[in-house]
């Protein structure tokens, strides 16, 4: 596969490849910052003359799969919930490399992000492609699955499948990757051997965050300190259909008592967070008190949501309103998908300051939907932070972020935890993505009756 003076328009973007040849005995990593065009380049590669010989897995593919399940959902016409396509119907062998046998009877729409990524990889491998393009494949995977994927990539390379990894993290470059392509502003500016690219000045200029986190975060001075115990759960158990997710979870969180929530894919981390964010109806009838409101005693979901900021893959999937980047950010003041209330001058001023902090001020009037996946994630993170909520729920916040933006966001979150009244609830499978202010951990242990919780100090 060879590109010479190649240009392709995708929506309003033009991908330019001056000169790049991918030989069958080479395996490549594609690197670049958020918004540089990495994922668009992946789409160019899959639409080239490779045709059916090329497999492709990305977060966009995950979203397309879930959107198809949503379109085919007949729950409104049935006297029961439509579970949709089952895992065992979507792939031929649930045992596979990731062994999804334990979820073979589960509907795709009930799977975690990590489980869906694994499912799509298995689906593509069933086609026995000559080329396999994996866009950020490690993101969302638990530690065991990351190791399985690492070994799978090695086996595929040794069996002469050409691997192309589209990555934000240098550490995710597999040792058997021989070559690197570097893209900037939708243009492939460097191609060559692994060592030559990693030692180049162009690459080293963008490796780490070199800016400064402001001493005073916008809007920090007006915070309410009246509620001491934010979460009080006692023997909480959750099931979906025949699937038992959580079992006897007892957990109390006080103000500024930051927690990391840990557990393998499918252990119920996102379900637990949805209980807190008032997005899980199964929590009614359980012994749960949030911000002083006992569940089921007449509180509205807005009584809860006013105290919460949230970023997750589910929110990113659901935020499909075509409005400006600034308005998406401002919607965080009102807990809405879309902006339906006229923001105050003070809120607009704070929103502008947040966009300047994360380097997206120049795109403030752009449509949110035009941003790259990583840029969208940046906007949703500061949207969650903008009102300085009592609880900030961070469900894999760094998914899709490049190295520079990841370092910046982790510093911002640590600053917020140290200087504000916001309590962080943080989920991440990446050991390197730690926030020093978080000193507590809730570990979810899967069992046949649902995951059990264990609390410890970090």
pLDDT tens per residue, range 184-213:
999 999 999 999 999 988 788 777 787 889
In sequence order, the 6+-apart residues with CB closer than 8 A to the CB of 43 are 10
Q: Does 200 share its domain with 110?
A: yes
Cβ pair 394, 260 in contact under 8 A: no
- The answer to the question of residue 223 being in a domain is no
Given a cut of 90, is residue 224 above it in pLDDT?
no
Q: Does 273 share its domain with 374?
A: yes
Q: Does 157 share its domain with 257?
A: no
- The answer to the question of residue 119 being in a domain is yes
Q: Does 374 share its domain with 234?
A: yes
**CATH code, domain carrying 296:** 3.40.50.300
Given a cut of 90, is residue 359 above it in pLDDT?
yes
The per-residue pLDDT for range 81-134, each reduced to its tens digit, is 788 999 999 999 887 789 899 899 999 998 989 999 999 999 999 999 999 999
Range of the domain at 447: 229-457
Given a cut of 70, is residue 371 above it in pLDDT?
yes
Q: Does 119 share its domain with 189?
A: yes
Number of domains in the chain: 2
Strand order of the sheet with strand 452-457? 308-311, 391-395, 423-427, 259-262, 440-445, 452-457
Task: Over range 244-256, report the average pLDDT.
Answer: 95
Given a cut of 80, is residue 338 above it in pLDDT?
yes
Look at 51 and 253; give whichever has higher pLDDT: 253
In this prediction, residue 223 carries a pLDDT of: 61
Separation of alpha carbons 69 and 63, rounded Å: 10
How high is the mean pLDDT of the chain? 92
Q: Does 260 share its domain with 199?
A: no
Separation of alpha carbons 94 and 150, rounded Å: 19
- The answer to the question of residue 220 being in a domain is no
- The answer to the question of residue 396 being in a domain is yes
pTM value surpassing 0.75? yes
Residue matched to tokens 């105290």: 307
Last residue of a domain, one of 189, 204, 219: 204
Angle at 226 between CA 225 and CA 231, to 5 degrees: 95
- The answer to the question of residue 209 being in a domain is no
The per-residue pLDDT for range 49-89, each reduced to its tens digit, is 666 789 999 998 998 999 999 898 877 777 777 889 999 99
In this prediction, residue 51 carries a pLDDT of: 63
């Amino acid at each position: 596969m060879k590109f010479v003076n190649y240009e392709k328009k995708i929506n309003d973007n033009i991908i330019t490849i001056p000169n790049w040849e991918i030989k069958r005995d080479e395996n490549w990593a594609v690197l670049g910052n958020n918004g540089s065009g990495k994922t668009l380049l992946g789409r160019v590669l899959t639409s080239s003359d490779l045709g059916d010989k090329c497999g492709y897995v990305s977060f966009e593919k995950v979203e397309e799969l879930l959107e198809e399940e949503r379109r085919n959902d007949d729950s409104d016409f049935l006297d029961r919930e439509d579970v949709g396509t089952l895992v065992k119907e979507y792939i031929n062998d649930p045992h596979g490399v990731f062994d999804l046998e334990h979820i073979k009877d589960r509907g795709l729409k009930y799977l975690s992000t990590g489980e869906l990524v694994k499912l799509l990889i298995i689906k593509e491998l069933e086609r026995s492609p000559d080329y396999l393009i994996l866009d950020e494949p490690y993101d969302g995977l638990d530690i065991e699955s990351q190791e399985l994927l690492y070994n799978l990539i090695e086996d595929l390379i040794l069996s002469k499948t050409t691997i192309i990894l589209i990555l934000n993290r240098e550490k995710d470059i597999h040792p058997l990757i021989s070559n690197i392509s570097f893209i900037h502003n939708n243009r492939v500016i460097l191609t060559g051997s692994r060592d030559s690219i990693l030692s180049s000045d162009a690459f080293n200029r963008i490796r780490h965050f070199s800016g400064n986190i402001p001493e005073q975060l916008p809007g920090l001075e007006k915070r309410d300190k009246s509620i001491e115990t934010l979460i009080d759960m006692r023997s909480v158990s959750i099931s979906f259909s025949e699937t038992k997710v959580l079992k006897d979870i007892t957990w109390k969180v006080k103000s500024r008592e930051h927690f990391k929530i840990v557990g393998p894919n499918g252990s119920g981390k996102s379900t637990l967070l949805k209980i807190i964010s008032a997005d899980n109806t199964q929590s009614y009838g359980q012994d749960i008190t949030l911000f002083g409101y006992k569940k089921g005693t007449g509180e509205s979901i807005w009584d809860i949501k006013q105290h919460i900021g949230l970023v997750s893959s589910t929110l990113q999937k659901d935020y499909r309103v075509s409005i400006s980047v600034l308005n998406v950010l401002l919607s965080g003041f009102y807990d809405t998908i879309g902006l339906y209330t006229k923001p105050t001058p003070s809120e607009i001023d704070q929103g502008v300051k947040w966009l300047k902090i994360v380097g997206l001020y120049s795109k403030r009037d752009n449509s949110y939907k035009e941003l790259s996946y990583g840029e969208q994630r940046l906007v949703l993170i500061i949207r969650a932070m903008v009102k300085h909520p009592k609880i900030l729920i961070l469900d894999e916040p760094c998914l899709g972020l490049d190295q520079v933006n990841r370092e910046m966001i982790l510093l911002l979150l640590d600053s917020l935890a140290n200087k504000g009244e916001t309590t962080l609830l943080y989920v991440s499978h990446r050991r390197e993505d730690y926030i020093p202010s978080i000193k507590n951990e809730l570990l979810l242990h899967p069992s046949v009756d649902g995951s059990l919780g264990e609390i410890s100090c970090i």
